[in-house]
Amino acid sequence: MLQQADETEKEIIVAEKKIFYTDKAPKPKGPYSQAVIHNGLLYLSGQIPVDPATGQLVRGTVEEETGAVLNNIRIIAEEAGAGIEDVIKVTCYLADMDDFARFNEVYTKFFHDNPPARTTIQAGKLPLDVQIEIDAIVALPSNQG
């Protein structure tokens, strides 16, 4: 039988959650955090192809958009004290699954050794009509988060 946690226990759990933000990556465009740190993991919100320097969408081929998204994930991970090699799980949303092979060509350039666990699905419609969105979970070094 499960027991309900009292208010003190809830406060402790909430206190472990830390909002993470870097101005070197695209700013969130809605009511969500760029990333959240909890129990040594960095949870990145879905990234779409936005140039962090200009804030403008990167419009182009699925390869170009994928590169922009993965570069933003790399930047956020590095700013949090980790690296692209510390990504342990990604969920990839493609506007068109027919682009899977082309997406994968760029993806393997970022995750060539020890790639993370991955789910890839075709989404009905992505924000701002982009071709790709990816969210990620990153294991932070033990001295982070």
User: Tens of pLDDT along 47-62?
Assistant: 999 999 999 999 999 9
pLDDT of residue 16: 81
The answer to whether residue 19 sits within a structural domain is: no
The answer to whether residue 17 sits within a structural domain is: no
Tally the domains of the chain: 1
The answer to whether residue 1 sits within a structural domain is: no
pLDDT of residue 106: 98
CB 123 within 8 A of CB 93: yes
**pTM, 2 dp:** 0.87
Residues 10-31 pLDDT 10s: 444 444 899 999 999 999 989 9
The answer to whether residue 77 sits within a structural domain is: yes
The answer to whether residue 71 sits within a structural domain is: yes
pLDDT of residue 145: 54
CB 58 within 8 A of CB 65: yes
The answer to whether residue 49 sits within a structural domain is: yes
Residue 132's domain comprises 34-139
Q: Within the chain, which residues score under 50 in pLDDT? A: 1-2, 8-15
CA distance 35 to 74: 13
The answer to whether residue 86 sits within a structural domain is: yes
The CATH number of whichever domain residue 67 belongs to comes to: 3.30.1330.40
Beta-bridge partner residues of 42: 37, 138
The answer to whether residue 134 sits within a structural domain is: yes
Coil/strand/helix, residue 86: helix
pLDDT of residue 10: 46
Residue type, 34: Q
